[in-house]
Amino acid sequence: MEIVSLVLIQMEVNHMNKTSTIINRIQAVDNFLNLAYFCESWKDFIEELGEWGVYSIAKIDFDDKELNVDLLDNFILKECN
């Protein structure tokens, strides 16, 4: 396997790990989950949290480039509404 392929695979694993960590934390913390029920997207969710001074979950910043925003949007829209 080429080195470039291995790097891309590792990036995808990290990408999903951070996204999964955030989803799991939202599900585990009642305040996060309750807020998620009132939001229509990941953007809405992080904007609401930003008003409380919260800019990360599980030490993962909301603007982390490795987050799968599409998956987080789907989670907020489908799982929480």
Q: Where are the domains of the chain?
A: 3-79
For the residues 43-62, what does the mean pLDDT come to?
97
* Percent of the chain with pLDDT strictly greater than 90: 75
Question: How does pLDDT run across 18-29, given as a tens digit for each residue?
Answer: 999 999 999 999
Query: Are the C-beta atoms of 35 and 27 separated by less than 8 Å?
Result: no
Position 53: which residue type? G
